[in-house]
Amino acid sequence: MILDTIRLVPLLATGGYVATLTKIVRWVRDGWVAIGIALLLFGLLEGVLSLGVLIEDRLGQRQPSIPDWRVDADAYPDRSWVTKYYAEFRASDGVRWWPYVYWRRHPYRGEYINVDRTGLRHMSVSTATGADSSGSIKIFMFGGSALWGTGARDEFTIPSVLARELANHGIPAEVTNFGESGYVSTQEVIALLLRLQAGDIPDIVLFYDGVNDTYSAYQQHAAGLPQNEFKRVSEFNLPSDFSRLRAMALRSVTDSLATVQMLTSLLQRVGLPLGPRRQALTELAADHPAGAAGVAAVYFGNVELVKALGEHYGFKHRFYWQPTIFQKTSLTGYEQSENRKANDFASFFRDAYAAVRQRRQTGAADSVFRDLSLVFADMRQPVFLDWVHIGEAGNEAIARIMATDVVNLTSRHRVRHFSQ
């Protein structure tokens, strides 16, 4: 009996092992089936969403030749040139690395857009032409894409119109458009420093800002940084860090998936924070003020820097805070559509612009600063091409205001060339 029991124990143990092994095999098999089904469903979902995006893109192209949605802007009374202009605009919007200020446009030659070898927009008119250039005043103009002239031909950018207006007042002037898309005011101050360092001293310096300083603060939760600074932080020394390079490549692949893009959009709509892209900025942003008040603090700090430079180098200066669609009270149908596109950050812009007006009322910038944010507020006619860029007629209105200020500067202060 005892012997039979001893013989039975290994058999029972073996049977238990077999049963356990059978269960494990079944779990692994079921797991692989579940994973396979999940991958199949994910592949089907990704395929459907990708096909939907492709169809939407194709349907959204009303005409294959339309290069930009702004060709339909009602701020263009004459559209005969607009389609070709935006084709040139898309062909010319590539940038290259530029020391200290990060980027400048590539040289470009077109019918409506021309950029020289130093990345500066062509001035189609010079009031110094045909006159004694030694008696002309030198004007530097700094700003973002609105000053560069997005949506306008060479001869209708704000600097070009200013040159013509000064000519009409009998003032010969050499105007240089240093505007560049995306530039914040700090980049512009650095660009001015580089010119002064090279011995290129202007008589008058004009700044036209507001949008990029505000949007950068909204984008990165810190005022005073160039736009998209988190990308430069995350990419610094990237070639020498293979693990980080591999992780970024993997993320780039996953971010391109239609399912990931849909999920990201849904999370943004419900207001959930998506912070991984900004994590690299945490320490850097700690040294910069946040919020709408930070925008005003950084901007007027730059105003004070330029004032000090002006006193040392002997040039006059004026600062203009630019308008956006958020200040216009009577919007056309097209402008209403553009306003809705920018609804996510409209509130932040209103707060930042209010902070700038508040600091102006407390005497933060005295007579050198002029708030133009409300210049189109009550206008019923179409002005905006999108939420920030204005049509050529709007550029002319802004340039005339600047021209009046320049005329007053030359008559009151008699800048260097005029005093000779």
DSSP string for 122-177: P-S--TTTTS-GGGSEEEEEEESHHHHTTTS-GGGSHHHHHHHHHHHTT--EEEEE
- Inter-residue contact 137 to 172 (CB < 8 Å): yes
Q: Torsions phi, psi of 137, nearest 5?
A: -95, 150
Q: What is the C-alpha to C-alpha distance for residues 316 and 354, in angstroms, rounded to an integer?
A: 27
Superfamily of domain 70-225+288-419: SGNH hydrolase (3.40.50.1110)
State the pLDDT at residue 374.
Answer: 97
> What SS3 class is residue 115?
strand
Q: What is the DSSP letter of 97?
A: E
Locate the domains of the chain by residue range. Answer: 1-60, 70-225+288-419
Phi-psi label, residue 240: left if phi above 0, alpha if psi -120 to 50, beta otherwise? alpha
Q: Walk along the chain (420 residues) and give the pLDDT tens digit of each residue.
A: 555 554 544 544 556 666 777 778 788 888 788 888 877 877 777 677 666 655 655 555 444 457 899 999 999 999 999 999 999 999 999 999 999 999 999 999 999 999 999 999 998 765 454 444 567 899 999 999 999 999 999 999 999 999 999 999 999 999 999 999 999 999 999 999 999 999 999 999 999 999 999 999 999 889 999 998 888 777 776 666 656 556 656 665 666 666 666 666 665 555 555 444 445 566 666 667 778 999 999 999 999 999 999 999 999 999 999 999 999 999 999 999 999 999 999 999 999 999 999 887 666 557 899 999 999 999 999 999 999 999 999 999 999 999 999 999 987 555 444 433
Please check whether residue 118 is in contact with residue 129, taking contact to mean a CB–CB distance below 8 angstroms: no
Q: Give residues with Cβ within 8 angstroms of 224, minimum separation 6.
A: 184, 186, 213, 216, 217, 288, 289, 294, 298
Measure the CA dihedral 115/116/117/120, to 10°.
-70
Which of 352, 217, 344 lies closest to 278 in space, CA to CA?
217
